[in-house]
Amino acid sequence: IVIHLESFQQFLIDYKLQVDGKDYEVTPFINSIYHSNETLAFSNFFHQVKSGKTSDAETLMETSLFGLSTGSYMVNYGGTNTAYAAPSILAQTGDYTSAVFHGNTGSFWNRNNTYKQWGYNYFFDSSAFTEKTDENSFQYGLNDKYMFPDSIKYLEQMQQPFYVKYLTVSNHYPYTSLSGDEKEQGFPLAETKDETVNGYFATANYLDSAIKDFFDYLKETGLYDNSIIVMYGDHYGISDTRSSNLAELLGKNPETWSNYDKAMLQRVPYMIHIPGYTGGGISNTFGGEVDALPTLLHILGVDTSSYIQMGQDLLSPDNKQIVAFRTSGQYVTPQYTSYSGRLYNTQTGEEITNPDETTKKDNEAIRKAVATQLSMSDAVQTGDLLRFYTPNGLKPVDSSTISY
């Protein structure tokens, strides 16, 4: 069960918003999952999306290929390209049935066509749920506290084992989806000069509570004990142009807010929650969304050695820990951060203005690795190259057998 946490940044984890001298924990339930020893959690996991936003995150997470440098891969190629995505791989290696639940119209980001190419058997979009009203929804669809309970009548009919994805929406810009929503719980607004920043915590808190309720349902029905639950944040919620307005809330000085701070804010949660497993913990390995699929498949015991995937297993000791942003020349490694034309020491946040020879050489090598990873991904995506290559043991999806 994969839960896509809309616009959810890593800094929300364990964050307490202070209003009128009182502390309000924003996402208590997600925090408890993050810290559980039944969870493999990552503290340096970065989103890698560009203008395809949510659709880029979906592409990265489920195919281990990047979105495009301009526009959305799902919109431009998703409906026609041959793909070996999570649902298709799991159907063929583990007999999984698959579905997506999302409270927006199915054609948004060309999902209805792309999901067929990815092998999703079912797609439950807004037409499958309670009618949207002004109170329970906003421009991006049905609010999370309606979508999750509404999905259950479908979920309980799914052939097991299943691979399902929930795309949440309530924590989406402009963070005002809760006005009129009866299930909102009065979480306070922040008090900065930026309305967008102010609303972000209340919608994140609402998402947290929707997920807690969903977990309660999973536990009641016993599905929980037989499932792995993955959660990830798709991309930033507060953009670089606004993020200095977060500085004070994060105990930083808005005057000295730097490109380094902006880069670090591109971290999003990635958690693999395995009920009954006790070897979890928080890994500081640096990685990104492109690494999620190989990591998950290896946990599930799938041999990915013949698959065309750009990511690396985050749990592998051989992981290179080079995180490419989709904007060229931008990257993060445990040592260096290159963002908006400036280079920083990742550990200290200090800018490197006069790099020595070793630093220059190191960064040239990183730049090359990043450029290669992106250009290989672009070649596959824009040339539809997977139509010429069938990984061992897999067949391409016949999307004509899927209808929604």
Give the binding site for ligand GP9 (CB under 6 A).
Answer: 53-54, 104, 108, 140, 167, 169, 172
Report the partner that residue 73 touches, choosing among Mn ion, ligand GP9, none (CB closer than 5 to 8 A by kind): none
Q: CB of 104: closest distance to ligand GP9 in angstroms?
A: 4
For 283, the 3-state DSSP assignment is strand
Q: CB of 107: closest distance to Mn ion in angstroms?
A: 16
Q: CB of 6: closest distance to Mn ion in angstroms?
A: 5
d(CA 148, CA 211): 8
Residue number, 85 or 91, with CB nearest to ligand GP9: 85
Q: CB of 148: closest distance to ligand GP9 in angstroms?
A: 16
Of 54, 59, 63, 337, the active-site residue reads: 54
Q: What values do phi and psi take at 129, rounded to 5?
A: -115, 175
What count of Cα atoms within 13 Å lies in the side-chain half-sphere of residue 320? 15
CA-based Rg of the chain, rounded to a whole angstrom?
21
Residues that bind Mn ion (CB under 5 A): 53-54, 234
Q: Is 54 a catalytic residue?
A: yes
Q: CB of 55: closest distance to ligand GP9 in angstroms?
A: 6
The two tokens of residue 45 are 């996991």
Nearest position to Mn ion, beta carbon: 54
Selection from 111, 110, 181 nearest residue 144 by Cα: 181
The two tokens of residue 242 are 């606004």
Are 18 and 243 in contact by the 8 Å Cβ rule? The answer is no
Maximum alpha-carbon separation in the chain? 62
Report the partner that residue 108 touches, choosing among ligand GP9, Mn ion, none (CB closer than 5 to 8 A by kind): ligand GP9
Residue number, 53 or 273, with CB nearest to ligand GP9: 53
Residue number, 1 or 297, with CB nearest to ligand GP9: 1
Residue number, 34 or 101, with CB nearest to ligand GP9: 101
- Whole-number Cα distances in Å, 332 to 45, 102, 137, 262: 10, 32, 37, 12
Are 164 and 4 in contact by the 8 Å Cβ rule? The answer is no
Residue number, 86 or 314, with CB nearest to ligand GP9: 86
Give me the long-range contacts of 245-252 (CB less than 8 A, separation at least 24).
Answer: 245/192, 245/193, 245/194, 245/197, 246/11, 246/192, 246/197, 248/192, 249/17, 249/190, 249/192, 249/197, 250/11
Nearest position to ligand GP9, beta carbon: 53
Residues tagged active-site? 54
